[in-house]
Amino acid sequence: MAAGTQAPDSLPRPPMKWDAWGDPALAKPLSDNIKKLLQQVLGTTADEPPARSAESVRLTPSALPESDRAALAAIVGPEHVGVADADRLTRAGGKSTVDLYRRRGGEPQDAPDAVVLPGSEEEIAAVLAHCVRQRIAVVPFGGGTSVVGGVDPIRGDFTAVITLDLRRFDRLEALDPVSGEATLGAGLPGPRAEELLAAQGFELGHYPQSFRFATIGGFAATRSSGQDSAGYGRFDEMVRGLRVVTPAGVLDLGRAPASAAGPDLRELFLGSEGVFGVITAVRLRVHPLPATKAHKAWNFPDFATGAAALRAVEQQETGPTVLRLSDEAETGINLAMTDRIGGDQVAGGCLAVTVFEGTAEQVAARHERTRAVLLAAGGTPLGAEPAVAWEHGRFGAPYLRDALLDAGALCETLETATQWSNVDNLKAAVTAALRESLRETGTESLVMCHISHVYPTGASLYFTVVAAQKGDPIAQWSHAKRAAGDAIVAAGGTITHHHAVGADHRPWMTAEVGELGVRILRAVKDALDPAGILNPGKLIP
Amino acid sequence: MAAGTQAPDSLPRPPMKWDAWGDPALAKPLSDNIKKLLQQVLGTTADEPPARSAESVRLTPSALPESDRAALAAIVGPEHVGVADADRLTRAGGKSTVDLYRRRGGEPQDAPDAVVLPGSEEEIAAVLAHCVRQRIAVVPFGGGTSVVGGVDPIRGDFTAVITLDLRRFDRLEALDPVSGEATLGAGLPGPRAEELLAAQGFELGHYPQSFRFATIGGFAATRSSGQDSAGYGRFDEMVRGLRVVTPAGVLDLGRAPASAAGPDLRELFLGSEGVFGVITAVRLRVHPLPATKAHKAWNFPDFATGAAALRAVEQQETGPTVLRLSDEAETGINLAMTDRIGGDQVAGGCLAVTVFEGTAEQVAARHERTRAVLLAAGGTPLGAEPAVAWEHGRFGAPYLRDALLDAGALCETLETATQWSNVDNLKAAVTAALRESLRETGTESLVMCHISHVYPTGASLYFTVVAAQKGDPIAQWSHAKRAAGDAIVAAGGTITHHHAVGADHRPWMTAEVGELGVRILRAVKDALDPAGILNPGKLIP
């Protein structure tokens, strides 16, 4: 690996492994059960993967002229600009399965030409102005956990591409305990944000699977949804205000909890994926730390019965904080409990998990009401333990994928959402599309699904796919992903419920919002970023 | 009144009186108590108002060339185009106090040059295309209840202005009882929409004060909020999808209950006030008709104590359907109960109203939890009766205004919203601005306020002002309104919580969303309505 020139080699790095998910200490080796299952059912081979080292990776050389590096260093300080390969590799992309295959492949890797760590909105504005003048693309970067190519360093027609890492926006800027509002810096990772709030007795309650690494700004830019969304809502529902630095100026949106003063412009930046501007701070609804918590698992004879039960709970507003349902396939291999995948099953049928938070009185009442509805809907209580086990392993699934890839299995996830009346139809259509398209690549597949988020009028469906790697696994997955995306659109689902669009879902954006919807997005883009430097190749077709 | 030419004189009319609110049969004459109060405190004179007749009103003549009338008639049918004065007068504006003064004044009235009633999206598209070619402005029109000049027939630089009355979009287009979603035509007035839903066992639950006249499309276009918003949410929170016809094409937005496929473009049309396109249908969350209902009134020693109590209820999610608090002044004259204004008071202090809906079990549990919180927060229960009386008169206040205007009193309302921690400050600032600015016009004033809508992080403040008419009451109110708007902005409130922007709040839009926010609105407008024919002079500064 060639040494970087002129920049210190010590830029703070994302906490992620460069070629896998997260913290190496938390890696999950596959059990013998799972290995056997993979070999028997899917025909994977269990070769030991070759050892890989970051130092052996070849990156495309930095295309940033020294004059630009010096100009950027003059804005943010030389210690906040990195052009070393070590800095660039760790911002070379996100964490989709395709990203990991790319990192693991022997080809030269695309990487940003430089990494810049601004420390203020004024510095961001100056960096953007420089990049407009010099025609340099800019990729805003939080935790780097995108699974849709959202932080890919796409140069497009520009002379170079830099990654703007927001990690220095790391403060709890304000807390209003009476109103229950906190203003959090965009670069704060989930755990640090919760730590700062907890010190004041509050909690945000946003726990997506990427929680340990992803940031407040990333949650906003991708319309994230967390595992506690039944209780605390999607991230966009928590947002009261946000600040955004664009090439055309700074926006400070959200004067009141609700308003009729025209369209809600906050909603244009939730899900904007860095193409309209750089989110620097988000004002959020927070709640007092819950005093009590209760876990209850349930079994349903089949997915349709379980889905109807979840629907009843949500439509009758009985108040669980977490509400999830695994289908028969996912329940069968205990995917909901990553610590015991492939081990003894808690039950056949479908596993549902409920968690309740609040005061002791609230938890008791919410559990009581929910229990009555689930019993009436045909559920069998399984006690607390499987739900506790789910919670314990809730952020663990991506580690499992690392081990599966090493064992010659192709593993990826995708998600959608639809009305309750269309859940069964959409689930069947996506499952069939995945199985059939993978069969065309020469492998059977295991397609598992759970309802991860519920709404009064519908639910999300989260699919996990495991197959055998055949030929070029990137081409193989692209084939399956295309089939799944087309099936989602044809069956009336949304192309993404909480992973965002990035580069990977762009082909379906016109189907999602219509040709005129795309023109609206382009018009907003042209108003805020007329040079088009912000995150090219993402979101807008 | 000059007879219209060539159009049938029988176009269906809005159900509103041309010079007052609503149905003449529901007019509320002032009690002797109120008349005495007005004379003593404000110095109004009790002259009998002159008799007025629609036939005596002079309208500016229709500027629409006969060729355009014929072209529009060819699109929608001649029976759906009106150029008669009777058709034009009833669409000459909304129902703000200034509107009523204009209607009652002797000056020639601005009115649309024609009224067009399209029957399909194709017809709307053809009308818009014709108006783009001929440079004719188009004002979308629902119930005509705007109190911010939202339907004023502003001609701007155009050759003529027509009103597009959506009343023929009057169907329940679809109902999905499993998902709890209904698609309602934009022209359906509130009562008819509820009647169609009730026949299938469902309810929307949107009850703004304009409920009897305002339409589904108007609720969406103005980000309406109803009196049951504590239980069923604001109108924008009920929206799952909408169809919009623009000069650039048709949008069909909202594929799923929630999505991460970019910014939520639905939110651009909620609050778009007809400047981006014509909303034709809205897909909405509905709920089963509630089986049970309970009313409970409360008294609080002062507004701050009552506000803290409402905050506790909302932040602890105890579940009331209605939750309101009148301040001391409003409580003092029983404004919350329009049938007994100025009569015996139920209590000093501040009156709060709660209503609970749902199954018998839900109502009992919600009431029980709410009661515990309100008691702990210093409330005194007053029983059901005052809350039942509030509900009985809930749509009556605008009739009262008609009588006040006749009695020489100036009466108008305005509303804002802010964080809980800023409620007292904002209330004091707006009250002072209104009293002082009206004093400058030579009259004392009665400024009353209530919390009409609550959120976990804040609340709305709804002000009612009564003063004596002095000189030109339009100029008088403009002076007070300007002072109140400036005070709202300076004190950190939103310029409108649920009345929308229209023409009247435009001067504050730049303060509300910033100069760059306004540029975004203009960019969207340019993409969808490049000729600028849709509702000129509204929303966008």
pLDDT value at position A337? 62
- Residues in a beta bridge with B415: B462
pLDDT at A334 over 80: no
Q: How confident is the model at residue A4 (pLDDT cuts 50, 70, 90)?
A: very low
pLDDT at A9 over 80: no
Question: Nearest C-alpha of chain B: how many angstroms from A526?
Answer: 8
Q: How far is CA A5 from CA A53, A114, A136, B195, B517, in A?
A: 21, 11, 19, 73, 41
Q: How confident is the model at residue B339 (pLDDT cuts 50, 70, 90)?
A: low
> CB A527 to CB B520 under 8 A?
yes
How does DSSP assign B254-323, residue by residue? -SSSS--SSS-THHHHTT-TTSS-EEEEEEEE-EEPPSEEEEEEEEESSHHHHHHHHHHHHHTT---SEE
Q: How confident is the model at residue B337 (pLDDT cuts 50, 70, 90)?
A: low
User: How high does pLDDT run on average in chain B?
Assistant: 93
Mean pLDDT across B152-165: 96
- Best of A513, A538, A539, A540 to disrupt the B interface (most B CBs within 10 Å) is A513
Mean pLDDT across B82-100: 95
Q: What is the CA radius of gyration of chain B?
A: 23
Rounded distance between C-alpha atoms, residue A156 and residue B370, angstroms: 57
Q: Which residue among A240, A264, A457 sits closest to B181, beta carbon to beta carbon?
A: A457
pLDDT at B243 over 70: yes
pLDDT value at position A300? 97
Question: Nearest C-alpha of chain A: how many angstroms from B175?
Answer: 11
Q: Which of A367-376, B87-96, B214-223, B338-347 has the lowest mean pLDDT?
A: B338-347
pLDDT at B274 over 90: yes
> CB A457 to CB B319 under 8 A?
no
pLDDT at B336 over 80: no
pLDDT at A82 over 80: yes
> CB B249 to CB A316 under 8 A?
no
Nearest Cα neighbor of A137 from A121, A113, A119 is A113
Chain A residue numbers with beta carbons less than 8 Å from the beta carbon of B417 are 256-259
> Which residue has better confidence, A125 or B341?
A125
pLDDT value at position A16? 84
pLDDT value at position A476? 98
Cβ–Cβ under 8 Å, residues A281 and A185: yes
pLDDT at B346 over 60: no
pLDDT value at position A347? 57
What single-letter DSSP state applies at residue A64?
-
Chain B residue numbers with beta carbons less than 8 Å from the beta carbon of A501 are 260-262
Residue of chain A minimizing CA distance to B315: A287
Chain B residue numbers with beta carbons less than 8 Å from the beta carbon of A222 are 260
pLDDT value at position A341? 63
Rounded to the nearest 5 percent, the helix, strand and coil shares of chain A are 40, 20, 40
Q: Which of B234-248, B302-316, B333-347, B402-416 has the lowest mean pLDDT?
A: B333-347
pLDDT value at position B8? 47
> What b/e readout covers B383-410, taking b as 16+ CB neighbours within 10 angstroms?
eeebbbbbbebbbbbbbbbbbbbbbbbb
Cβ–Cβ under 8 Å, residues B91 and B115: yes
pTM tops 0.90, yes or no: yes
The alpha carbon torsion through A188, A193, A199, A202 (nearest 10 deg) reads 140
> CB A311 to CB B178 under 8 A?
yes
Q: How confident is the model at residue B190 (pLDDT cuts 50, 70, 90)?
A: very high
Mean pLDDT across A179-193: 98
Cβ–Cβ under 8 Å, residues A113 and A159: no
pLDDT at A35 over 50: yes
pLDDT value at position B16? 84
pLDDT at B1 over 60: no
Mean pLDDT across B175-185: 98
Question: Nearest C-alpha of chain B: how many angstroms from A11?
Answer: 31
pLDDT value at position B343? 60
> CB A262 to CB B513 under 8 A?
yes
Cβ–Cβ under 8 Å, residues B22 and B15: yes
- Best of B146, B148, B175, B179 to disrupt the A interface (most A CBs within 10 Å) is B179
pLDDT value at position A36? 82
Q: How confident is the model at residue B338 (pLDDT cuts 50, 70, 90)?
A: low
Residue of chain B minimizing CA distance to A290: B316
pLDDT at B27 over 80: yes
> CB A256 to CB B497 under 8 A?
yes
pLDDT digits (tens, 9 = 90+) for A233-282: 999 999 999 999 999 999 999 999 999 999 999 999 999 999 999 999 99
pLDDT value at position B398? 87
Cβ–Cβ under 8 Å, residues A31 and A111: no
Question: Nearest C-alpha of chain A: how many angstroms from B21?
Answer: 22
CA of residue B192 relative to chain centroid, distance: 17
Question: Which residues fall within 8 angstroms of residue A17, CB to CB, at 6 or more apart?
Answer: A23, A24
Q: Which residue among B176, B251, B521 sits closest to A262, beta carbon to beta carbon?
A: B521
pLDDT value at position A3? 39
Give residue for tokens 């015996």: B344
Cβ–Cβ under 8 Å, residues B441 and B471: yes
Residue of chain A minimizing CA distance to B283: A457
Question: In a 10 Å sphere around its CB, with 0-12 CB exposed, 13-18 middle and 19+ buried, how is residue B56 labelled?
Answer: exposed
Question: Which residues fall within 8 angstroms of residue B361, CB to CB, at 6 or more apart?
Answer: none
> CB A223 to CB B260 under 8 A?
yes
Rounded to the nearest 5 percent, the helix, strand and coil shares of chain B are 40, 20, 40
What proportion of chain B, given as a percentage, has pLDDT over 90? 83
Residue of chain B minimizing CA distance to A541: B262
Looking at this predicted complex, what is its ipTM? 0.95
Mean pLDDT across A432-459: 97
Q: How confident is the model at residue B6 (pLDDT cuts 50, 70, 90)?
A: very low
> CB B258 to CB A225 under 8 A?
yes
What proportion of chain A, given as a percentage, has pLDDT over 70? 95
Mean pLDDT across A331-349: 68
Q: How confident is the model at residue B41 (pLDDT cuts 50, 70, 90)?
A: confident
Rounded distance between C-alpha atoms, residue B355 and residue A30, angstroms: 56
Rounded to the nearest 5°, which phi and psi values hold at B274?
75, 5
Question: In a 10 Å sphere around its CB, with 0-12 CB exposed, 13-18 middle and 19+ buried, how is residue B78 labelled?
Answer: middle
Q: How confident is the model at residue B369 (pLDDT cuts 50, 70, 90)?
A: very high
- Best of A367, A451, A457, A496 to disrupt the B interface (most B CBs within 10 Å) is A457
Rounded distance between C-alpha atoms, residue B476 and residue B409, angstroms: 12
Mean pLDDT across B526-539: 98
Question: Nearest C-alpha of chain A: how many angstroms from B515?
Answer: 9
> CB A416 to CB B460 under 8 A?
no
> CB A316 to CB B362 under 8 A?
yes
C-alpha angle with apex B386: B382 to B390, nearest 5 degrees? 145
Question: Which of A13-17, A346-350, B74-78 ranks highest by mean pLDDT?
Answer: B74-78
> Which residue has better confidence, B105 or B132?
B132
Q: How confident is the model at residue B46 (pLDDT cuts 50, 70, 90)?
A: low
> CB A315 to CB B271 under 8 A?
no
pLDDT value at position B7? 42
3-class DSSP assignment, residue B355: strand
User: How high does pLDDT run on average in chain A?
Assistant: 93
> CB B263 to CB A267 under 8 A?
yes
pLDDT digits (tens, 9 = 90+) for B458-489: 999 999 999 999 999 999 999 999 999 999 99
> CB B513 to CB A319 under 8 A?
no
- For residue B178, what are its two tokens? 């499993």
Cβ–Cβ under 8 Å, residues A460 and A225: yes
Q: How confident is the model at residue A12 (pLDDT cuts 50, 70, 90)?
A: confident
Helices and strands: H and E segment counts in chain A? 18, 19
Chain B residue numbers with beta carbons less than 8 Å from the beta carbon of A493 are 255-256
Q: Which residue among B251, B493, B499 sits closest to A516, beta carbon to beta carbon?
A: B251
Question: Nearest C-alpha of chain A: how many angstroms from B19?
Answer: 26
Nearest Cα neighbor of B258 from A498, A222, A221, A216 is A498
pLDDT at B283 over 80: yes
CA of residue B505 relative to chain centroid, distance: 13
Enumerate the H helices of B394-472 as residue ranges: 397-406, 423-440
pLDDT value at position A315? 97
Q: Which residue among A264, A498, A513 sits closest to B267, beta carbon to beta carbon?
A: A264
pLDDT value at position B461? 98
Cβ–Cβ under 8 Å, residues A31 and A137: no
